[in-house]
Every structure is written in C-alpha cells, then in structure tokens.
Homo-oligomer: A and B are copies of this chain.
Amino acid sequence: MGLIVQKYGGTSVRDLPRIRAVAERVAAVRKAGHDLVVVVSAMAGETSRLLGLAEELAPAPNRRECDALVATGEQVTAALLAIALAELGCPAMSLLGHQIRIATDSAFGRARIKSIDAGRVTSALAEGRVVVVAGFQGVDVADNITTLGRGGSDTSAVAVAAALKAECCEIFTDVEGVFTSDPRICPGARKIARISYDEMLELASLGTKVLQIRSVEFAKRYRVPVHVRSSFSDAPGTWVVEEESSMEEVEVSGVASDREAKVTVHRVPDQPGLAAAIFGPIADAHIVVDMIIQNVGADGMTDMTFTVPRGDLQEALRIVRATASRIGAGQVDAASEVAKVSIVGLGMRNHAGVAAKMFRTLAEHRINIQMISTSEIKISIVIDAKFEELAVRALAEALVGRGEESV
C-alpha cells in the first residue's frame, strides 16, 4: 500500500479530544498498512489569538515577526498529535517547516512554496514512523520563518504530497466535500463526487472556501489527486482530479457566490495605459481586484467597473478618486452591496446556450444583472446583494438540475 498525505484543519484539531480522535483515525490508517504523512493546522482560534496579541502591541505589527509568532500554532498541534500517536503505540515524529526545508519566497504572511526537501520525511517514514508536518509554514532563503496565508495548510499538504509522490492527498475538513452550491442556501445542493482541477480552481476562486486556491494550483501542476472529506465521518467526499471524459457531459457542476463591493470610474479617456494607471496604485496598496469590466467606449471615453473585497472599498475609492482626477476621468461611483454569482462547468466549452439559460433564469426571477464576465468554463454575474440567495437557488435548480428538494 502506498503513501497517503492527510491534512486536518483547525476545527478538526480544535481541542485535545479532537486531537485524540485524529490520532485514532491516523493510527487506524497506519495499521491498515499505509505510509502516512499528516499535515496539521493550528487549533481553531489560535492563529487569531496570536495575531490579536501582536495587534495589541502594534497596529501594523512587523510581518516577519508575525510569521514567527503564528507559526507556533501549527508547531503546537504537530507536537501534540505526535504525542497522542505515540501514546496509541504508533511511532510518530513532528517536523516543522525549517526541518523539512519547505522553501518559500520571503513574502511574509502570504509566502509561496518553491521546493520541499523530501529526504527527512522519507527517512522518518522508512523508520516506520508517521510524520506529522506543521502546515502553513516554511522558511525563506535566509532561514526566516514564513507563513502561507489563510488556508495555507491545504497548500502545505498538497505540496508535501507532490514532493513525496503520494498516492493522494486527503483534506479533512468540517464539511463533507465540495457541493454544487452552498448547502446553507440550497437545501437541494448535492455533493460532487469528482471534479476537475480547473473547475475546482474556478469554484475556489469564487468563494467556495473549501480549499485554498493555491493548493488546487499545486495539485493540478503536480497531478496530485485530492480528496476533500469530513473529519467527522468515513463517508467519501469529493475527489479533485484530472479532467475525465465523463466530466465533459456535465454542463454546470457548481454554483458559487460571494459578497463584494463594486467601483465604477465613468468617462475614462479611452487611451493606452489608462487601465494600468488605475489598477497600479490599487495593487500597490495590496488590494485584490476581482472582476474588471471595460466595455467598448463611445466618443473617446469608456466606463471601467471592478469589484474588490468589501473591507477594502474605502481604501480603493480613495486611491481611485485620486487617480481619476489625475487622468481626467469623470465621476467615481461605488456600491458596497453587490454579490457575484458564478456557474462553473467543463461542459460549457462544448454546450451552447448555458449563458442564455443562466440569464433567462435570472430574468424569470426579476433579478437585474449589473455586470457579466465569462471565462472558458465559468460565467460570473454581479447583482444586487439582496438577490444573492435567490439567484444561487434558482441557478442551482435550473442549471445543475438538482433542485428537487430546494425551497
């Protein structure tokens, strides 16, 4: 039997009883004959607690030191899980980012993994040990501790699985898998059994917070099969895998939605370089812009609309207003109450009319579309936030076709 990498998130290790339960699960898999690497997050709430301490000392605490600070959360969980495993008679060893050289760049708080030295892990596995890896953390070239950003332990797990050429990477979480739409909104939402990396990337970037998007990118690049499943049951969850021919038949595999804020710059002179002039200063402020829409202009002017996270709206507005007056654009409007709703599916590439069906469904529910943006396997629209749930439910029912039980 081959090597499996498992990852347990913060809620799965939130207290000692849960850690003991994870240890029992791991020991059982080990006993069944698998080699096992377990990647763990900090106990739920710990990262926020530590950042809270830092922010009490400084409103904008030094980022390098914050990473050294919060990395202790995963270190604690890893050591405790190794202790619990040893107590069950399952030899285990915790390993930290610096001990297995999870080499990253130096972008503290959102570092990207560059390489992993599998040697230390494989030799511990060869000694018959379960290896418990502290997720979320790495080291840069100067041996500074770095962290990978929210959800980074997913990426740690997939990266370790890739480096070790594991059979698969199991992501244990507090949901049962990836759903066609949010089960809290659509009671008829269905768990997806298999989904392609590309579809998952679109869903992950669309607010389905089951997997960190970079972990999916990693999985796709290194072809690591990822199994997203519940840590509270043995039921199979969702496999995220390479595209399979049967997947093509499904037009729409999922509906996702996210609250955003919208900014429109009116009457932008329609000249080369002006998009860069608008979005450069926003990027410099580390504000992540999501959708950008620019329609063809008239009389040498165009309107430019984009969405940002709600928390960044005021800062983005301040920046854009300054830019607008500098480049001679017109008024800048904003709306903080919009939602982006997207449908994703490999089948869109070959099936005509999905967009038309989407727009017709929304029209039937009298939902006005403010913006539209499409990619090969995704269609996103922006609507008034008050219609978010209605739109998701209606689209799931009409397009994913599993609405029998929906309200």
Q: Which residues of B contact A80 (CB under 8 A)?
A: 53-54, 57, 65, 69
- Please pick, from B54, B57, B68, B93, the residue contacting A96 in the complex, using a CB distance under 8 A: B68
Which residues of chain A (64-90) have a CB below 8 Å from chain B?
64-66, 68-69, 71-72, 75-76, 78-80, 82-84, 86-87
Q: What total of chain A residues lie within 8 Å of the partner, measured CB to CB? A: 38
A200 close to chain B: CB less than 8 A:
no
Interface residues of A in 11-60 (CB under 8 A from B): 16, 19-20, 50, 53-54, 56-58
A19–B71 Cα gap in the complex (Å)?
A: 20
Interchain CA distance A57-B62 in the complex, whole Å = 35
Contact present for A65 and B82 (CB under 8 Å):
yes
Are B58 and A84 in contact, with the CB atoms below 8 A?
yes
Pick from B19, B69, B120: contact of A76, CB below 8 A: B69
Instruction: Flag whether A98 is at the interface (Cβ < 8 A).
Output: yes
Q: Using CB atoms, name the residue of chain B closest to A67.
A: B79
- Select A57's contact among B20, B58, B99, B145, beta carbons within 8 Å: B20
Interface residue? A61 (CB, 8 A): yes
A68→B96 CA distance, assembly (Å): 9
Least CB separation from A62: chain B residue = B86
Interface check A143, CB cutoff 8 A: yes
**A-side interface mostly:** helix
Please report the C-alpha to C-alpha distance between residue A65 and residue B134 in the assembled complex, in whole angstroms: 12
B87 touches A65 (CB 8 A): no
Tell me if A94 counts as interface (CB < 8 A to partner B).
yes
Contact present for A94 and B68 (CB under 8 Å): yes
Residue of B nearest to A78 (CB): B68
Known: A57-B20, A72-B72, A75-B72. A83 touches B99 (CB 8 A): no
In the complex the two chains form, what is the Cα distance from A56 to B143 in whole Å? 33
Out of B58, B64, B86, B98, which one reaches A87, CB within 8 Å?
Answer: B58
| Most chain B CB atoms below 10 A, which of A20, A68, A82, A84 | A68
B96 pairs with A79, CB closer than 8 A: no
Interface core residue of A69, A75, A78, A143 (most chain B CB under 10 Å): A69
Q: Provide the residues of chain B in CB contact with A66, threshold 8 Å.
A: 79, 83
Q: Are B72 and A57 in contact (CB under 8 A)?
A: no
Contact B69–A143 (Cβ < 8 Å): no
Q: What are the nearest 3 A-B pairs in CB distance? A: A69-B79, A72-B72, A58-B87
Taking Cβ atoms with an 8 Å cutoff, the residues of A that contact B are 16, 19-20, 50, 53-54, 56-58, 61-62, 64-66, 68-69, 71-72, 75-76, 78-80, 82-84, 86-87, 92-94, 96, 98-99, 120, 143-145
Can you identify 29 A-B contacts, CB atoms within 8 angstroms?
A16-B56, A16-B57, A20-B57, A50-B76, A54-B83, A57-B84, A57-B87, A58-B86, A61-B83, A61-B87, A62-B83, A62-B92, A65-B79, A65-B80, A65-B86, A65-B92, A66-B79, A68-B75, A68-B82, A68-B96, A69-B75, A69-B79, A69-B83, A71-B75, A72-B72, A75-B75, A96-B145, A98-B143, A99-B143
A72-B76, A75-B75 given. 17 additional CB < 8 A pairs? Answer: A53-B80, A54-B80, A58-B83, A58-B84, A58-B87, A61-B86, A62-B92, A64-B93, A65-B83, A66-B83, A68-B79, A68-B94, A68-B96, A69-B80, A71-B75, A99-B143, A120-B143
